[in-house]
Amino acid sequence: MHRFPIAVQPYTVREALSADYFGTLEKLAAIGYRGIELGPPPEGVSVAEQLRALDALGLQVVGAHASFNSFEVDLERLLDYLHQAGGRYVTISLLFDSKEDALRKAARLNEFGEQCRAANLTFLYHNHDWEFRKYDDEYVLDLLMRETDPALVQLELDTYWVAKGGEDPAAYLAKWKGRCPLLHIKDMEPGEERFFAEIGEGVLDFPAIAQIAAEAGTEWLVVEQDASRRDPFESLAISYRNLAGLDLIREPAPRA
């Protein structure tokens, strides 16, 4: 079985992060996570202070999410931060109300991707389930991937949202082989509600997903759980333990 370095998306513990920034980072590292998707620090904390803490904890910044449904991003500031932090990926998510809207936004994604490429960083699009709405019998996400240049726009596929959209995550990942360097992993409870679940506690086939991810060139698995029935730190710990039980974890390569 191919093994991956495992990162965490701290949206899972967003309330704790707001209340105790450094304490939350310590708890994530203590679980075992070695990568994190993290942007510039909050007011009152310098980038230098943030990076010293992350280095002491053995947490590597993998990339950062730029925005949700907005192109109004101080991209220059974010790119500068990622250069300092050693992160490689910038991610965005969007909403769409028509095929024409999706086509317009695909063009903007290419523009963002060009700015990231000029800075030697990689731009990613992160999906939810609404990209599996169809316009003219084509998924919005397929349209976005077709209309964007692979050299400029890659994908941060999310396993839960693919399944919520009605597709098999492993099969859909295979469709876009070579375009998904980061894979957001979260599981799904059985039943009609299809609520979020910890990795290995739901219905998704993570050995199959991991096998395809290895073939597709995925570099990091990123654990995220939008909502939890447990304490979110407990959920993240369960996901990490189950990934270890599936023999899917390896240490990340040292940064150059």
Per-residue pLDDT tens digits for 36-61: 999 999 999 999 999 999 999 999 99
> DSSP letter at 253?
P
Q: Which of 254, 176, 251 is nearest to 220 (CA)?
A: 251
CA distance 200 to 186: 9
Confidence (pLDDT) at 256: 60
Examine the pLDDT at 71 and tell me if it is beyond 80: yes
Question: Which has the closest alpha carbon to 82: 56, 115, 57, 107?
Answer: 115
Give per-residue pLDDT as tens, 76-99: 999 999 999 999 999 999 999 999
Is residue 71 situated within a structural domain? yes
* 254 located within any domain: no
Domain count within the chain: 1
> pLDDT value at position 23?
98
Residue 50, domain member (yes or no): yes
The structure's pTM equals 0.97
- What is the distance between the alpha carbons of residues 130 and 165, in angstroms, rounded to a whole number? 7
Judge whether 137 lies within some domain. yes
Dist CA 81 CA 42 (whole Å): 13
pLDDT digits (tens, 9 = 90+) for 207-247: 999 999 999 999 999 999 999 999 999 999 999 999 999 99
Q: Tens digits of per-residue pLDDT, 117-172?
A: 999 999 999 999 999 999 999 999 999 999 999 999 999 999 999 999 999 999 99
Domain contains 255: no
Average pLDDT over residues 108-119: 97
| Structural domain span for residue 39 | 6-245
User: Cα–Cα distance between 184 and 223 in angstroms, integer?
Assistant: 6
Q: Residue 15 falls within a domain, yes or no? A: yes
Reference 176, options 121, 134, 218; nearest CA is 218
Tell me if 117 is assigned to some domain: yes
CATH number at residue 11: 3.20.20.150
- Domain membership flag for residue 18: yes
